[in-house]
Chain A
Amino acid sequence: MSGNLTKVVLLHLAVLVALFAGQFFASDYAVLTLTRIMVLAVYAVGYNFLFGYTGLLSLGHAMFFATGLYVAAIGTTRAGLSVPAAFAMAIVIGFVVSLVMGAIILRATGVAFMIVTLMFSQAAFLTVLYFGEFTRGDEGIVIPDAIRSFIFLGVPVDLTSEVLRYNMALAILGCAVALTLVLVRSRFGHVLIAIRENENRTAMLGYDVARYKLIAFVISGMLSAVSGATYALMFAYAGSTLASIQYSIHPLLWTLLGGASTVLGPVLGTALMFLLVDFASSFTNANLLMVGAVLILLVLFFPKGIIGTLRQRYVPWLP
Chain B
Amino acid sequence: MTALLETRGLSRSFGGLIAVSEVDFTLMAGEVRAVIGPNGAGKTTFVSLIAGRVPPSSGIVLFEGEDITRLPAFRRVRRGIAYTFQITSIYANLSVSENVELAAHQSGAAGSRAALEHVGLADRAQQIAGTLSYGHQRLLEVAMGLALHPKLLILDEPTQGLSDAEIANFIELVRGLSRDTTVLLIEHNMPVVMDLAHRITVFDRGAILAEGSPGEIRADPAVQTAYLGSADA
* Residues of A that sit less than 8 Å from B by CB: 190-191, 193-194, 197-198, 200-209
Contact = CB atoms under 8 A, between A and B. Distances in A.
A194 B51 contact: no
Given A197-B94, A198-B91, 16 more contacts: A190-B98, A191-B102, A194-B91, A194-B94, A198-B90, A204-B73, A204-B77, A204-B82, A204-B83, A204-B85, A205-B77, A205-B102, A206-B75, A206-B77, A206-B78, A206-B148
B144 interface: yes
Nearest to B105: A206
A87 B94 CA distance: 39
Nearest to A208: B74
A209 B82 CA distance: 16
B92 interface: yes
B93 interface: yes
A205 B80 CA distance: 10
Given A205-B144, A205-B148, A198 B89 contact: yes
Contacts of A205: 74, 77, 102-103, 105, 144, 148
B53 interface: yes
A158 B208 CA distance: 78
Interface residues of B, number: 24
For the complex of A and B, list the 10 residue pairs with the smallest distance between their C-beta atoms, beginning with the closest: A206-B77, A197-B91, A206-B78, A201-B89, A205-B103, A203-B74, A206-B74, A194-B102, A204-B83, A208-B74
A54 to B, nearest CB: 14
Nearest to A206: B77
Interface of B is mostly: mixed
Contacts of A204: 51, 53, 73-74, 77, 82-83, 85, 89
A205 B85 CA distance: 11
13 contacts: A194-B102, A197-B91, A198-B90, A200-B89, A201-B89, A202-B102, A203-B73, A203-B77, A205-B105, A205-B144, A205-B148, A206-B74, A208-B72
B79 to A, nearest CB: 9
Contact of A197 (B53, B77, B93): B93
B130 to A, nearest CB: 10
A208 to B, nearest CB: 5
- Tell me which of A198, A200, A204, A209 has the highest count of chain B C-beta atoms within 10 A of its own C-beta: A204
A194 B82 CA distance: 17
Given A190-B102, A194-B102, A206-B148, A201 B53 contact: no
Residue of B75, B93, B103 ringed by the most chain A CB atoms within 10 A: B103
A201 B85 contact: yes
